Each structure stands twice: as C-alpha cells, then as structure tokens.
Structure 1
C-alpha cells in the first residue's frame, strides 16, 4: 500500500527532467539587422528536422567540438550556418519556451506562465514537476495529469495554433518525439507505465491530441526497440536522449519522415544543473543520439542533402554560487507580514499570498484584494540580490529593482522601435532593464527583447501578481523547491539564461529574427517550400 505514492513520486520526478528549463563572446551583441531571410518558392521542400537540446550553450558546445566529443554537431556546423545568440522566451523554463516555439507567441498569448504557477480560475497551484523535494510534498498524481494532459489539452491556449495543428490544416503530417509540448489534431492513447497505474489516482490511459507521428517517453514510442531498451525507471522512463534519437532514426529508416519532425534531447539540462555551466558531458551524449539520426541516412552527406537540419538550445543557464547562504534568496522572510500559502496544503481562504518559484524567477500572487501589489514590490526591493520586479499598472508594465528607488514604465505601441520592429512607449528609468532609447530607437543590453518577453509574463494568466527575478549567481528558493548550488540554473530575463545557439544545415535560410518566437513561422515556410533551399 505504501508503495503506490512512492511509485507515483518516482514517475513524476523522472518526468520532471525535461520540464525543469549561456555563453557568448565578451562584448558581442546580437545584430538583428544582419539576419535577412530568403523567400524563393520551392516545389519540393525537404523534410525539416528540428532538434532541441535542453540547456545547450555556446561555450560548452564549442569546447565539446574542439575536444572531438561532438562530431555530428561539428559536421552540421561545417556545412551550414551558426548563430550563437538566439533569444529564448521568458520565463526561461522549458514548458514556457516550448509553448513559444510551437505557437510562435509569448506567454501573454499561449498562456503557459512557467513550470510552477497559481491558477486563479482553478484556485490551485500548477506543478509540472520540479524535483524530488517538492515531489514528496505535493499531489503527484495531479502533477502527472497536469504535465502530460492538462498542459497540452487545457492550459495551452486554444486561441494559438501549434505548428502541428497548422501543418495538419494544410494536409501535412508532422512528428513530435519526446517534446513536452506537442498538441496536434490526431488522437493518441497514452498507456500509463504499469507501476504508476497501480495508484488509484492515476488513470490507466489518457487520450491526447498530437501530430500524426508521436513519441513521449514511456507513454508512447515509434520504434518497438525502445520499449525494451530505453523506457526503464533508471533511464528516466524513456525521457532520455537515446530514445529520442532512436525514434527519429526509425522514421528516417522506414521512409516515414513527415514535413516537420521535432525531436527533444532532455538530458543535458540535468547535467548542467548538477555539474555547472562549463560542463559539456551532456552535449556529448546528445551528439551520440544525433549521430544515430544522421547514420539512418546511410551517409551524413546524404542526410544534409535530403533534409533541413536545425539544432538549437531552448534556454541557457547561469552559474550558481557554491556557498548556499550566499547563493540563495528566500522570498518568505521579505513578505512575512502576510500569510503565505504552504506547498503541502491546498490554498485556503485565509492565505493572502502564494509564491511560485521557478529557479531564478518567481510569481508572487496577492490572493487578498486588500494587499496592494505596490506594497509587495516595496518589500521585495529590500533585497539587493533581486534583479527585476515587475507588475501590471493599468496599461503599463511597472518595473523596479532591488535596493533602488527608481521606476520604469512601458506599454506596447508608441514612437520608439526596437531591433525586432516592435514599438513601445517608455517613461522613467530605462536603465533598470539596461536599455537605451535614442532617436526613437531602442537598443537592448543584458536583457535581450526584455520589453516583449516581460510583457508576456506579466500578462500570461489571470490574477494579481508580481514577477521577480534574481541577478546572476543567485537562485530563488521556496518550500522545498530545488536548488543548484555550485551548478547552473535558469528562469530569468538575463542574457546568461536567455541566449542559446542555433545551427542550420540543408538550407540557406534562417528565421526573420534570432528569437525562438520566430522559429515557427520560418519552419512553416520551409515546410511549404516558400524559401530558397
């Protein structure tokens, strides 16, 4: 009897690996003006293979290649284009980033705010899996249902179509392999792993919608070999690079590769969290899985001639200091004048605040209408390790920072335009978000595309809340939230969390801008032959 919740906890903890989510040359900045896409029609478009490597970063990637540990990525780089600084979404956590990747929108439209958040509509916390400590304190069957079903079928906005849905509307097939956001138009029945299904709170199966070709850890595989080889408990129930590479190779070998295939390599994220931002062992493992895909063509040259290959990171990580006391920032003591909900109990009518920590960012919710958000912001400003403190203020976003009395306000629309063609109205101190505005031109500093990304988070879901991030080197901690002392963490708007590499082979095109939010439109152009390949 006692084993049932333990098994559910192990399953959810295993599946949390890909869900819990940067180096550049000093002084180098993104030059969006140099990115000019092509637009020449092609009647016979190549199939597109998009490989997402969790927490892939430029510097360890280069070191892995220099040490001969990433021959597949070295091969693709030598035969294509490389951009070391593509901008991620915000929060820089995998569920939000992947929702942006699939929908081509930020969180204000796709409505997936983060790994951990509070649903004002459901009056409960939403956890998609956030490590072992939290696992023992929260409703694990609900985490499983949220992460596998609710995320894709309910919480991801129906008003934004995914790339799989748009391709299906055009009569084109697509594939999703181990990606955590996958909504499409084909029904699939997922079989819950046998041990987890022993819990009376976990259904034996779930019906979801995804692309025609669908693979997701222990729940569904394409290659029968994977069911015997790569879905064991000690292999994260199939949420591993080997399964991803094998299922993609299976589609290639069976000549069933659709217009677009999205392949997710999850394991690098966990190794960087544990071993630090300079560690490239996870890249070596991902490269082996990528090699299996290239090998499926018979020769690597044939692979790049017959398909478009896109390899990218989703978010980066910044180093966390080795001293726990110095590295961690606790929000509760700053807000202890209010009653704060506890992680191991349902949110009650007496609770005034809820804190949802996402590593290096957090949402702080004021459930009590008598609690002003401006008061919460002032209390948070007593901590100088806090970086950006933001909230809605009418039509504006109001921004403050730790140990600073200055304020910055902005809203969409206006006379000032940024590198992405977005227009804004600004007032106050723009230095709080490290931007300059001169001659109606906005230039971003250490927070790339901060105005749009932060606006997305502040308007990402219902409720009254403050968005807060910490400076590099630090991590926010809550009730049993995971910490990565001496390792790496992400979540914030800072460039160290936000800039990821992009490599392209098999086409001379690239996205309209170097942002993950613009990848979807580019891939749809490739799939429709509306580009020069």
Structure 2
C-alpha cells in the first residue's frame, strides 16, 4: 500500500464530494527550490538518483527480462549490481519503510510504527490513510492532520537525523519527489486547495521542513509556474509516476540535479493489490518510464557516466486467496469476548481492545490491565490463519506460533550472533521464527523471516503501550470491520520473506552497502556522497 498517497487522495476526494465543485486556484508564488537545489559540488562529481518503486519485486523483473519485455531493466541489471533479497522494514508498509530508509533505523528508533497505530498519550488511533471507509469513520480532517502535519513534524523521531538533514550539515543539496517522509533542513509550505476551505480546519498553508527541493504533487509543486504538471483530480493530485518522472526530467534538462535525489514511484502498487503479484503490465509500463528518464542524459550509457542510478522496491507482496477461501481474518470476531473499540469511536473506561490493522500485520492493544497479553495471544492463535503473535515482557520478546502455540523468547546482547553481527539470547523453540543455530560457533541464521529478531523487536519497541504484534499466514490478510481488503489480489505488512525481500539495483558505482537491508541504505548513500 502507498499510505500517504492514498490517504491524501481518499481524504481530499471524500471532502471534494461534499463540496459544490472545484475552482481553479490562483498560481502560488514561486518557492526557492529551483534556486537552491543545484549541487554546489564540481560539475564532474556524480549525483545520486534513488528511485523507490512501490511493491517492485525481483520475480517480476526476472520474468520480464526472460520474455524480452523489460529492455531498460535488462540494461540496468547487466550494467550494474543486481540484488534480489534486500530486507525491508517491518511492518512492510510504506510510511514505516520510508522512515527506515531516510533515518537508517528500524521503528524502535524512528517511532513511526505503521500505517495505523494507537497513541496511548493521545488516546486515539493514528491513521495515515488505510481506506475510504476508515478515513470516513475517523474523519478526513483528522487523518489529513496526522498525514500532512504530524507524520513528519511530530511522529518521526526528531532526535534521529534524516539523510536530508545529514547532507545539509555537510553542505550538500538534496531533493524529494513525492516522498512520504521528507523532513529536512529547508523551509517549505504545503498548500491546501481552496475548494477545501470551510470543510477542513487545516490552515491554507502548512509550514514544513524538507530537503532543498520538495515536490509532493499539488500540495507542494515547485514547478507550478515553470512547467505544466499532471497534478489535478484526474491525475490523483500529482501523486503518480508521471508527475515524479516529469519532475526528475526537468531537473536533468535544466542541469539542476541536487547531490541526492529521492524519487517515489507509486503506481505499480495499486495494480498488484488488485490483481496480485503475478500482474506484469505495471512493470512493463514502469520500464518504459525508466527508459525515457535515462534518455534525458542523451543515452543510458551517458546517464550512468554522469550519475549513480539506484532503484529499489519497498516491500514485496503475497498472493491472497479469494473470498471463497476465507482470506480475510476478522479480528473482532476472534476477540468477541472482549470489548473491542469500534472504528471512529472514542476510547472509554469500558474499552478492552484497540485494533490497528496494517493489512497482513496488526497491532492489538490491551487497555484492560485485568487481561493478560498471553491470554489475548492464545485467543488469536486459535485461528489457523494466524502466523505469529508476539509481545514484549520486561526485556524479553515472546512469540507464539499460530495453531500450534509453540513458543520462543529472545532478547538482545546474548552470545548468539546473526549475519548482521547482532547479538542475541534465544530460548525455547527456534522453529517458531524459523531460526537455525550452529551450536559450535553460536551463529544464528534466518529462514523465511529475514532479520526477524531485530525487525520484530523494532516494532514492539516502536511506541508506548501494552500490545501484541500479529501477522497472518501467506494468502490471508487481517481486518477490522471497515478495513480495506484485497481478496484474490495482493497484500503485505507481515514478516514473511515474500513481503520482506525486495530488489536493489545499483548502477554507476562499484561501492556496495555493508548489508542488504533497507536500514543500511542511508549510511551507504552518505558514503557515496561524503568524501572525507
């Protein structure tokens, strides 16, 4: 799912339907983006262009190349380094993944737990945009407030620097085009359309901080008075591949590339959610867009001579069973013995449970101290479609296997060492998390749940509260009463390798990341750009 893109589109369209019409706005004054964005480094210094492609998977790339349908991907994989197994963040939802990317940390450090989560401080569910019914029930204004103001300005841990902030400290220029997480050192403004006036309490202009160049569809369009961009209602407010590509092309054509440019390409995700990960037309269209982008330099060869060109997916996707095969796990039904907060309602003293569903993953919050997390976990693992239920207790993390109730527990700083040089103490049944231990050298290896010890712990320590982390088995997705579902399509959110492993293509340099995890990309980018 592409949360911020969907939340903005759904919220604005919902309020738009309540208004009498949409009038053309007066052009906004030029911002300083185009003045301040150009790199001040010498002309022959390579810039880094990083393209984050929502739900891009290596299987689609490989199949398309074999069928001679992806000439651009073929060129890039043959002239660069192609990895098929970079580990994403967890939950595998875009706001959390992008927060991990630009901070180089998991949620325990960057504090963006998922697409939706419960704030014990505010006693409310935070929702950056899951689906139209949930947005409607929670209130489009409140969802917009969290997505447009609080996500970057408050929820993203201000104590953890982003790549944009680190680059600014070194005097380097950066840019973000349709990026979900963009906090930086330069002042910008988001502009709310006039046709929302009187419907939302959001101010006309929202002051934000971002990189030197910040483009976010029609909400922040630094090219408004210099180039006609696809940013209207019919163009999904500019939150689309075409807008992203046109903005990059303009910077290339005008020789205004910053030292580091983040480009978000969201369109593929929507097709895969609807048709499943076997869908290929979206990748073929993406290949044409990438080919056109490379030609802006004159040729693909010249593009790689002048820039370091890096592409990655943000998460994988699992094929979901059809509705006839009970693909949707209705969490309130599994917890019917408890008082579960209804969506759009306020928490009261009688509320036992709050749900925050992130497709194939969910947070289950225990607000009644008389109920134990373990009892709640057993109520969920009774359903054979549940994969793992986990919680933290003191310094330990506990995980139950769905259906079998086999249990494992672990904590950090033990004698076992994994492939990322992280140290752990693990007890009981390692099979629950598909772990293997070499007893001679105490080396831990991961199976179908990549970097599971750190990723699961990261989610459990991402925010305050007494809660469970729940994941569904491949083929199933979790749901509250109004959650969007994708029966017969595709879904992600969980720890499973199908949803966690993504492709990474690096062209224009022989430098490699220390590890193949999304949290290792930020230090990698900084190494490419900052020469001590």
TM-score relative to the length of structure 1: 0.90
Distance of 1:327 and 1:428 partners within structure 2: 31
- Give the counterpart of 2:456 among 451, 454, 457: 454
1:380 Cα deviation (Å)? 1.1
Name the counterpart of 1:528.
Answer: 530
Count of aligned residue pairs for this structure pair: 499
Name the counterpart of 1:151.
Answer: 151
1:236 Cα deviation (Å)? 1.2
Residue 149 (structure 2) pairs with residue 179 (structure 1): no
Report 1:378-393 matches (<5 A). 378-393=378-393
Distance of 2:279 and 2:226 partners within structure 1: 28
| Gapped regions of structure 1 (runs ≥ 5) | 1-5, 16-41
Contact 1:366 1:373 in 2 (8 A): yes
Contact 1:252 1:293 in 2 (8 A): no
Contact 1:320 1:474 in 2 (8 A): yes
Name the counterpart of 1:26.
Answer: none
Report 1:18-417 matches (<5 A). 45-224=45-224, 228-417=228-417
1:202 Cα deviation (Å)? 2.9
Which range moves more in the overlay, 391-400 or 217-226?
Answer: 217-226
Distance of 1:507 and 1:424 partners within structure 2: 34
Cα shift readout 1:66-116 (whole Å, capped 9, x = no counterpart)? 444433322211211100111100000000000000000001000000001
1:379 Cα deviation (Å)? 1.0
Distance of 2:8 and 2:265 partners within structure 1: 24
1:299 Cα deviation (Å)? 1.9
- Give the counterpart of 2:446 among 444, 457, 470: 444
> The residue matched to 2:137 in structure 1 has which SS?
coil
- Give the counterpart of 1:516 among 515, 518, 521: 518
> The residue matched to 2:303 in structure 1 has which SS?
helix
Contact 1:320 1:485 in 2 (8 A): yes
Name the counterpart of 2:499.
Answer: 497
Cα separation, partners in 2 of 1:226 and 1:265, compared to 1, 3 Å? farther
Cα shift readout 1:138-191 (whole Å, capped 9, x = no counterpart)? 211111121122111100001211000100111111000001000001010111
Cα shift readout 1:217-267 (whole Å, capped 9, x = no counterpart)? 111124338974411112211110000011111111111111110000001
Give me the CA root mean square deviation. Answer: 2.1
Name the counterpart of 2:488.
Answer: 486
> The residue matched to 1:159 in structure 2 has which SS?
coil
Contact 2:8 2:144 in 1 (8 A): no
1:339 Cα deviation (Å)? 0.7
TM-score relative to the length of structure 2: 0.90
Distance of 1:163 and 1:53 partners within structure 2: 19
> The residue matched to 1:49 in structure 2 has which SS?
strand
1:7 Cα deviation (Å)? 10
Name the counterpart of 1:11.
Answer: 12
1:405 Cα deviation (Å)? 3.1
Distance of 1:172 and 1:459 partners within structure 2: 33
Contact 1:138 1:343 in 2 (8 A): yes
Distance of 2:243 and 2:320 partners within structure 1: 30
